[in-house]
Amino acid sequence: MFGWEFPPHISGGLGTACYGLIQGMNIHKQEVIFVVPKLWGDEEPVADFVNASGVTVDYRERRFKKLWKNLTYLEVNSFLVPYLGPKAFKKYTDYAIHDRTDVDESVFSTNYQFSGKYGKNLMEEVSRYALVGAQIARDRSDFDIIHAHDWLAYPAGIAAKEMSGKPLVVHVHATEYDRSGESVNFPVFEIERAGMHAADHVVAVSQLTKNICVRKYGIPPEKVTVLHNAVLDASIITSTYQKKVPEKIVTFLGRITYQKGPEYFVEAAKKVIDRDPNVRFVMAGSGDLLNKMVDRVAELRMGTKFHFTGFLKGDDVDHMYAISDVYVMPSVSEPFGIAPLEAVRHNTPVIISKQSGVAEVLNNAIKIDFWDVDAMADAIFGLLHYQGIARMFTELGADELKKLKWEHVAAKLVTVYEKTLAQRA
């Protein structure tokens, strides 16, 4: 398996999902080689970890040079150079292509130190990671199938498949359409498309995501299997942390970005506060839309009832869930969305958008369209005031949670592997 991050060093849900999946695979006695760009040394030893930063790429291998040429092409395409005229841009890219594709043996001679983050050299790291993927596939024969998680690892998966001839499964945890709406970053889209097409089979984290693979990336539906995410721990968390304010609390917790639909939460808050002033709304997290949300809250004159906490970590996240009376996830496009399940673990009733994968597995939640702020406001008001429904949701939600096990996901994945290998044979 090729991933990009692994607990405890994670910045999103990808690493956690990989961890859960490996746990599940271990139950089914599947041996997993897990490659990450950078190992920190404090990862739980659940798999045969390979640190990509420690792999030396053998420059004598001719096939690598061809691979590097193709990858560099992608990379050059991703250069975002503003304010260059067409001529200047051509000169620039010619130079870049020439410079980078010339047989540059320094590229191969030393180990490349990956940051494993999502920084400005991301595209370069993705390409280098692919070379490492090729090297590992050439060196090792103790694997049957290749599994790449999300676009960052697709080039590595493709390279490994080319080297080894073994089948490739790509795992779509999110797509560029989820992250950016219709204004997609083209090079990323290209990598995603190439990965899905090169794959022998595609795994999507929800039906919603499968539909995007089919409609936007042109993948035949029979080539895509839906494997919903699960939770590592379904136990109910009883916190001793006490709320300090008399009002009820309605919470949004996540990145404050387009994908998460924060503006719909703000608009719904206004509608609720107008009807019931004894409510506080909290937007926990940070992101590029934070300042816009702050402005809007001020404009709607609800600054003393709508609060921003900034990015929360550690105990603060648990405290936030613990003091929330309703949790809302109004995502515009959410491939899965694990956060509402965390809320359920804290006995907090949840409202989720129909445009989220988690809506496919969580029945005891109110589901609304992300754009329908009236429905969202009604749902918030209802859960705050009609204790019966709130109680029912928390009880039944907890039961549903117990069924969402990585063990079951892994079992389905094993079936996918078997079918894929059978098709090859």
Partner 1 sequence: MRTVCFYFQVHQPYRLKPYRFFDIGEDHYYWNDYLNRNVIQKAAQKCYLPMNSLLLELIQRYQGRFKVAFSISGTFLDQMEAYAPDVLESFQRLVATGHVELLNETYSHSLAALKSKDEFFALVHKHQDRIKELFNGYSPRVFRNTELIYSDDIGAMVAELGYQGMLTEGAKHILGWKSPNYVYSNAKNPKLKILLKNFRLSDDIAFRFGDNTWGDYPLTTDKFVNWLNALPKEEPVVNLFMDYETFGEHQWAETGIFDFMRHLPEAIFTQSNFTFSTPLEVVAALSPVSNIHVPTPISWADEERDLTAWLGNDMQDEAFDRLYELEKKIRKIKDPALLRDWEYLQTSDHFYYICTKFFSDGSVHEYFSPYDTPYDAFINYMNVLSDFILRVEAAPSK
Give the residues lining the site for partner 1 (CB under 8 A). Answer: 243-246, 280, 282, 290-291, 294-295, 297-299, 301, 303-305, 307-310, 316, 319
Q: 122: burial class by Cβ within 10 Å (0-12, 13-18, 19+)?
A: middle
Write down the least CB distance from residue 337 to partner 1, Å: 23
Among 14, 18, 10, 13, smallest CA distance to 410 is for 18
Q: Is residue 363 classed exposed, middle or buried when 0-12, 13-18 and 19+ CB atoms within 10 A define those classes?
A: exposed
Closer of 171 and 346 to partner 1 (Cβ): 346
Cα 320 to chain centroid, rounded: 22
Shortest CB 242 distance to partner 1, Å: 9
Of the two residues 221 and 303, which places its CB atom closer to partner 1 in the complex? Answer: 303
Which among 348, 379, 357 has a CA at the least distance from the CA of 366?
379
CB of 86 to partner 1, least distance (A): 31
**Number of Cβ within a 10 Å radius of residue 415:** 12
Between CA 343 and CA 351, with CA 349 as vertex, the angle to 5 degrees is: 90
Compute the radius of gyration of the chain from its Cα atoms. 23
Q: How far is the CB of 268 from partner 1 (least distance, A)?
A: 19
Q: Residue 93 is encoded by which pair of tokens?
A: 């890219």
Instruction: Give the Å distances, CA to CA, from 264 to 45, 120, 172, 320.
Output: 42, 31, 26, 20
Strands 326-329 and 350-353, by their bridges, are parallel
What's the closest the beta carbon of residue 195 comes to partner 1, in angstroms? 38
Least CB distance from residue 322 to partner 1, whole Å?
11
Please identify, using beta-carbon distances, which residue of 61 and 276 lies nearer to partner 1: 276
| 172 versus 323: smaller Cβ distance to partner 1 | 323
The minimum distance between CB 324 and partner 1, in angstroms, equals 12
Give whichever of 295 and 395 is closer to partner 1, judged by the CB atom: 295
* C-alpha distance across the termini of the chain, in Å: 21
Closest CB 273 distance from partner 1, rounded Å: 13
Alpha-carbon dihedral angle through residues 185, 341, 254, 371, given to the nearest 10 degrees: 70
Select 253 or 413, whichever has its Cβ closest to partner 1. Answer: 253
Q: Please enumerate, as own/partner, the contacts of 309-314 that have beta carbons within 8 Å and a separation of 24 or more.
A: 309/282, 309/283, 309/284, 309/285, 310/284, 310/285, 310/286, 311/284, 311/285, 311/286, 312/253, 312/284, 312/285
CB of 282 to partner 1, least distance (A): 6
139 or 299: CB nearest partner 1 = 299
Judged by beta carbon, residue 87 or residue 244, the one nearer partner 1 is 244
Beta carbon nearer to partner 1, 198 or 317? 317
Q: Is the dihedral of CA 197, 198, 199, 203 positive or negative?
A: negative
Phi, psi of 359 (to 5 degrees): -60, -20
